[in-house]
Amino acid sequence: MHSMSKRYRRSLITAGAIMGVMLLAGCSGAAGAGNSAAPDGEAAAFPNGDIRFVIPYSAGGPTDVTARALAPCLGDALDTNVIAENITGGSGSVGLQDMISKPADGQTLAIVSPGMVALSPIANGLDYSREDVSSVGVISYSYSPMVLVVGEDSPYSSGEEFFAAAEEAPATLTVGVSGASTPQAIELQRLADEYNVEVIVVPFDGSAGAITALLGGHVDSVFVNDQEDVVQRIGSGDFTALAVSSPERQAHLPDTPTLVELGYDDLTLAVTIYALAAPAGMPDDVVATLSDALEECLSNPETVSAIGENYILPEYQTGEEFDGFLSEAEKVYTRILGS
């Protein structure tokens, strides 16, 4: 791996995004074409049978945990079965392609993030955009940061030591991430481009794969969601936290500096926000029904506890509000990566 050219190493970062955007963005026309109207102009009943809830990453990671915590409550709220299904591959692209290819009738949903919707099209210069996805509402919007961690046997006990080693020996330290087209992968690309600190980015199909690789000693570090299992491993000593991507330190990791504190002033984009989405073109009444069900679930104590109380906003945010965030994210990513 260390012998790979710089160009090829960097291509790893965005390779999965080519499929990722085709999934997220490319099939709205197909989705719209698949809609079936009820006879005599009558609106079709919703829901009409089981609802598929696509999880574009593998089991065990934060995307999977969040979606599976939400699915039972959505089923209760909609009086139907909401069946969560992991469809993995291509940094989320295979699962999201599956969703977008289905009729825009609300019977197929997915959990999405800004990285999937706003970043991938810009990173690859493709003719797809967030307009090809219907945003229903925000599931968790906590700006939960990414955390750079190493294993208990690592020679690095601080962010300063890790990045000093990366500067001294460019492209030798490996950093696992949850996908090639994720915000954290792009932040590591920016680390090389803007700060001349180059690591080898190793994309996995979700955070669970990256964490398993670190536990097995197959990567030097991981840059993954600041999620409960990671925090628990930091507390137990299995992992050492070197840095977080948030603008300020996290209350539960008070001794872990931010990337900004370590001298990387602009590396604050790697955050986690999840939303419920469907193929573009859903009828307004179906969007409203789904949004109402989501809002109800995000006030359900059992669901909130399963997702994590710290990751739920005090006030529900609609799909329109999520689209507003995506619009701002597009501006930032376009400035960084070019249109």
* CATH topology classification for 14-142+272-337: D-Maltodextrin-Binding Protein; domain 2 (3.40.190)
Determine the average pLDDT of the residues in 275-302: 96
| pLDDT band of 222, cuts 50, 70, 90 | very high
pLDDT reading at 85 higher than 80: yes
Separation CA 11–CA 201 (nearest Å): 10
CATH 1.10.3720.10 fits 6-12+144-244, yes or no: no
> What is the location of CATH 3.40.190.150 in the chain?
14-142+272-337
Out of 1-5, 66-70, 329-333, the most confident range is 66-70
- Six token digits for residue 152: 């208990």
pLDDT value for 182: 80
Question: What is the percent of the chain where pLDDT is above 90?
Answer: 50
Q: Where in the chain is the domain with CATH 3.40.190.10?
A: 6-12+144-244
**Section 222-230 average pLDDT:** 86
Confidence band for 299, pLDDT divided at 50, 70 and 90: very high
Q: Which contacts qualify for 29-34: CB closer than 8 Å, 24 or more apart?
A: 30/100, 30/101, 31/100, 31/101, 31/102, 31/103, 31/104, 31/132, 31/279, 31/280, 31/281, 32/104, 32/279, 32/280, 32/281, 34/101, 34/102, 34/103, 34/104
Give pLDDT, residue 41: 45
Residue 24 pLDDT more than 50? no
Greater pLDDT, 100 or 339: 100
Whether residue 224 has pLDDT greater than 70 = yes
Note whether 63 and 272 are within 8 A (CB). no
pLDDT at 317: 92
**pTM summary value:** 0.68
Which of the two residues, 278 and 208, has the higher pLDDT score?
Answer: 278
Cα 179 versus chain centre, distance: 9
Averaged pLDDT of the chain: 82
